[in-house]
A and B are shown apart, each in its own frame.
Chain A
């Protein structure tokens, strides 16, 4: 039976207590995207600035949620800032693959999964690896993926390709 330490790794608690990139950006030029977890009422708002090269020049997170959703959002913001939309999309795929292949396939992203797998093997998750233990607590997976799903939606709305 998994214990609390599997879920709440120290780096997760650190991001929860000291969230990175917390706040808001002026809209426009930034875009604003909201995400909800209907199960627990968590709400997240992501503000994105994309530069002319298709890079995330700035990102801010607001909203409220549990330690898993907040720390996942915080770690995500640190991981994607300064990266191109394509790089972020690969990182998102790699993160969601770590969270649950099952969930990805449920959301119709299973096509070409095997091709992706090779590409994703090169993606470095870094600190995000700490969230791997969430998979042992299935009801919390949605908490960890909320920020990432909202980011993907935000990138679409921002017109990044």
Chain B
């Protein structure tokens, strides 16, 4: 066992676990998938787990007393326990299944926020947040008259915490990303949650880009709420997670009303179900939660410490190759030290627009994102309208980075810049 947890990942071998990465060609060439920050590819074991559910135990959960309904319920709840262990949450009941991280954050804002925040209350966010951790707060701010404050960035793409104490003064919420989906920046989560708690604020962590790539311990983070999505961590689309401290979740009003979330309904009103089902109205994404459980098994089989080590290597290799090869012609945003960031590289290249870059890259089978990455405030801070973004995962290797570099050369040649 010691060997398997310390030896580096062999991405070229891992690719074979992912049907799309070995079985699909684009423009006559195998796909070089560099958009895992948008969504990861899915290993065969995840696809099989979902297919097996549909083929052998498809039934609604928490309702039927017949055998397959019980088995479906057991498997879904087993997936919840897998999530709990994966993020080291104290209680399984604190793991709420949602549609995605966006819904998880909307749940926090719409339930906890609406119940606990009043006119003039202060919510502190950062300049590198995804729209999912901005817009719900803006919506509630417009409704309630909240004040939003922003932690700025330094030149290297880290949070500038110089004025943190002043920003947090009288704040009720500090909501921030654990890893930027654009800059790759890892933020000092524990320092921030401690600072929030020192002023009595609730700490909300958007861990959507963090949980898939870094060993996660919500207890050690010291957070009150942590949100992430299944589909960026080898799981299917349609399932996300909100972890929250039980005493906060207990005191919160429900988010969506309907079946599953109630204990009793009378004509005069209703009473809520226990955690976590209180926040899971309606038939949940059963196959997807089981698929997420299989994804967690897969990641734990590899070892998240090895996943993180591989991505530090990949970020370092990509930074070195792209900077050596293109010099001043490429600007890669975010921290320059691989250990301080994830393997997500947003960049500007020559004067080429990201759309044009990605169009040429596509002809070479290289899949990258082009656009504002749902972080328009950050784009304005960086002074760009959009960037290209290559994001790597456990199945990417040096050859994928080389293919990106070759395709960038082809793009520059095509536009004769």
> Is B300 close to A, CB under 8 A?
no
> Is B11 close to A, CB under 8 A?
no
Contact (Cβ within 8 A) A67 B353? yes
Contact (Cβ within 8 A) A39 B353? no
Contact (Cβ within 8 A) A40 B359? no
B residues within 8 A CB of A24? none
Name the contact of A68 in the complex, choosing from B355, B360, B385 (C-beta under 8 A): B355
Known contacts: A40-B371, A42-B385. The answer to whether A3 contacts B355 by CB under 8 A is: no
> Is A29 close to B, CB under 8 A?
no
Known contacts: A66-B354, A66-B355. The answer to whether A40 contacts B386 by CB under 8 A is: yes
A residues within 8 A CB of B385? 40-43, 64-65
> A7 to B411, alpha carbons, bound, how many Å?
14
Name the contact of A40 in the complex, choosing from B27, B354, B360, B363 (C-beta under 8 A): B354
> Is B326 close to A, CB under 8 A?
no
> A41 to B91, alpha carbons, bound, how many Å?
42
> A7 to B355, alpha carbons, bound, how many Å?
12
* Chain B interface bracket (under 10, 10 to 19, 20 to 34, 35 or more): 10 to 19
Q: How far is the CB of B135 from chain A (nearest CB, A)?
A: 13
B residues within 8 A CB of A39? 371
> Is A27 close to B, CB under 8 A?
no
Contact (Cβ within 8 A) A140 B414? no
Q: How far is the CB of A110 from chain B (nearest CB, A)?
A: 28
Q: Which residue on B lies nearest to A42, using beta carbons? A: B385
> A40 to B358, alpha carbons, bound, how many Å?
11
Q: How far is the CB of A126 from chain B (nearest CB, A)?
A: 24
> A66 to B355, alpha carbons, bound, how many Å?
6
Contact (Cβ within 8 A) B386 A13? no
B residues within 8 A CB of A7? 359
Contact (Cβ within 8 A) B353 A140? no
Classify the secondary structure of B's interface with A.
helix
> Is B370 close to A, CB under 8 A?
yes
Name the contact of A4 in the complex, choosing from B353, B360, B372, B376 (C-beta under 8 A): B360
> A123 to B371, alpha carbons, bound, how many Å?
34
B residues within 8 A CB of A40? 354-355, 370-372, 385-386
A residues within 8 A CB of B27? 1
> A68 to B354, alpha carbons, bound, how many Å?
12
Q: Which residue on B lies nearest to A68, using beta carbons? A: B355
A residues within 8 A CB of B371? 39-41
Contact (Cβ within 8 A) A8 B363? no
> Is B356 close to A, CB under 8 A?
yes
B residues within 8 A CB of A68? 355-356
Classify the secondary structure of A's interface with B.
mixed
Contact (Cβ within 8 A) B379 A41? yes
Name the contact of B359 in the complex, choosing from A1, A4, A64 (C-beta under 8 A): A4
Known contacts: A42-B386, A43-B385. The answer to whether A66 contacts B363 by CB under 8 A is: no
Name the contact of A140 in the complex, choosing from B355, B360, B386, B415 (C-beta under 8 A): B355
Query: Which of A7, A66, A70 gathers the greatest number of chain B CB atoms within 10 Å?
Result: A66
A residues within 8 A CB of B376? 41
Q: How far is the CB of B407 from chain A (nearest CB, A)?
A: 12
Contact (Cβ within 8 A) A13 B415? yes
> A66 to B376, alpha carbons, bound, how many Å?
17
Residue-wise interface mask of A (36-51) relative to B, using a CB-CB cutoff of 8 A (1 in contact, 0 not): 0001111100000000
B residues within 8 A CB of A137? 359
> Is A85 close to B, CB under 8 A?
no
Q: Which residue on A lies nearest to B357, using beta carbons? A: A66
> A67 to B354, alpha carbons, bound, how many Å?
10
Q: Which residue on B lies nearest to A13, using beta carbons? A: B415
Within 8 A of A (CB), among B361-417: 363, 370-372, 376, 379, 385-386, 414-416
> Is A131 close to B, CB under 8 A?
no
Q: How far is the CB of A71 from chain B (nearest CB, A)?
A: 11
Known contacts: A40-B370, A40-B386. The answer to whether A65 contacts B363 by CB under 8 A is: no
Q: Which residue on A lies nearest to B370, using beta carbons? A: A40
Query: Which of B355, B372, B415, B416 gathers the greatest number of chain A CB atoms within 10 Å?
Result: B355
Known contacts: A3-B363, A64-B385, A65-B385. The answer to whether A41 contacts B372 by CB under 8 A is: yes
Contact (Cβ within 8 A) B363 A4? yes
A residues within 8 A CB of B372? 40-41
Q: Which residue on A lies nearest to B379, using beta carbons? A: A41
Q: Kindly list 13 other residue pairs between chains A and B, CB separation below 8 angstroms, not including A4-B414, A67-B356.
A: A4-B360, A4-B363, A40-B354, A40-B355, A41-B371, A41-B372, A64-B353, A65-B353, A66-B353, A66-B355, A68-B355, A70-B353, A140-B359
A-B contact pairs, 16 of them (CB 8 A): A1-B27, A4-B359, A4-B363, A8-B414, A13-B416, A41-B371, A41-B372, A41-B376, A41-B379, A64-B385, A66-B353, A67-B355, A67-B415, A70-B353, A137-B359, A143-B355
